[in-house]
């Protein structure tokens, strides 16, 4: 897998266009890719998004084609987009491709990364994403959303490092109004984006191998 890290904020529409182009290349046999990047403040809608959950469109809104509902992307949030041929990688292991197993692997990448900073992430039945405990109750720290085309994945996950959490006020994040949103910095972990990237890459090697 080829890893690419982008130092400047990437407009969402540019990332979506490039991602779709890369999906086609991987479908034709190109190497899998993982992108680490940040977006300007943006709301994105998954295939299950409800119009009523867009409370106040303070930022540009994009339909994505990924699974899930509304979420926010912005500076201080580490986005990982993974374009991977699940059929090809499964064949190397002598297995059948499994989208559910892939999503579970993404969840484990986030959980292992959080653990390296002393943060216990966990999953909850019926709630997509990775959650943590806060003084105010359980809160989401990472969102997941995946699209698959001819067994090639796109999109991925978004981990909150130090975004402006007030920007979530314009949506009902993932359709769950009763839970909060948090970040590593809000939990007292003042880590840098470079430290987060190192943790994510180590976790990916641990979960995916190689």
The CATH number of whichever domain residue 65 belongs to comes to 3.30.930.10
| 177 secondary structure, DSSP code | T
- Determine the pLDDT at residue 93: 87
Closest CA to 118 of 197, 184, 172: 184
Q: Hey, is 11 helix, strand or coil?
A: coil
Structure tokens at 26: 């991987």
Closest CA to 159 of 173, 140, 172: 140
Q: β-strands 152-160, 180-181: how paired?
A: unpaired
- Determine the pLDDT at residue 65: 87
Structure tokens at 45: 């809608």
Q: Hey, is 26 helix, strand or coil?
A: helix
Query: Cα dihedral angle (61, 65, 66, 68), rounded to 10 degrees?
Result: 60
| 171 secondary structure, DSSP code | B
User: Is 34 one of the catalytic residues?
Assistant: no
Active-site entry in 80, 174, 181, 204: 174
Instruction: Give Cα separations from 171 to 20, 35, 70, 74, 131 (angstroms).
Output: 26, 26, 7, 14, 18
- Determine the pLDDT at residue 162: 98
Q: How far apart are CA 110 and CA 116, in angstroms?
A: 10
* Relative orientation angle of helices 193-208 and 99-115, to the nearest 10 degrees: 130
The number of folded domains in the chain is: 1
- Determine the pLDDT at residue 210: 62
Residue 85's domain spans which residues? Answer: 2-208
Closest CA to 152 of 82, 100, 64, 93: 82
Query: Per-residue b/e over 56-75, b at no fewer than 16 CB within 10 Å?
Result: eeebebbebbbbbbbbbbbe
pLDDT tens over the chain, length 210 residues: 999 999 999 999 999 999 999 999 999 999 999 999 999 999 999 999 999 999 999 999 999 989 889 999 999 999 999 999 999 999 988 999 999 999 999 999 999 999 999 999 999 998 889 999 999 999 999 999 999 999 999 999 999 999 999 999 999 988 878 899 999 999 999 999 999 999 999 999 999 986
């Amino acid at each position: 897998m080829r890893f690419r890290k982008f130092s400047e904020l990437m407009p969402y529409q540019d990332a979506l266009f490039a991602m779709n182009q890369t999906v086609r290349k991987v479908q034709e046999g190109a190497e899998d890719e993982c992108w680490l990047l940040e977006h300007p403040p943006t709301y994105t809608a998954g295939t299950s998004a409800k119009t009523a959950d867009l409370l106040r469109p303070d930022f540009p809104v994009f339909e994505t084609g990924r699974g899930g509902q509304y979420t926010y992307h912005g500076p201080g949030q580490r986005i990982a987009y993974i374009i991977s041929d699940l059929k090809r990688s499964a064949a190397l292991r002598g297995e059948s491709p499994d989208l559910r197993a892939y999503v579970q692997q993404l969840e484990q990448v986030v959980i292992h990364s959080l653990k390296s900073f002393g943060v216990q992430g966990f999953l909850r039945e019926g709630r997509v994403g990775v959650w943590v405990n806060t003084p105010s109750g359980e809160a989401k720290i990472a969102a997941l959303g995946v699209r698959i085309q001819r067994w090639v994945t796109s999109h991925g996950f978004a981990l909150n490092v130090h975004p402006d959490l007030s920007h979530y006020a314009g949506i009902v994040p993932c359709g769950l109004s009763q839970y909060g949103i948090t970040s590593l910095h809000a939990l007292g972990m003042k880590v840098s984006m470079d430290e987060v990237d190192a943790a994510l890459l180590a976790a990916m090697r641990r979960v995916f191998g190689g």
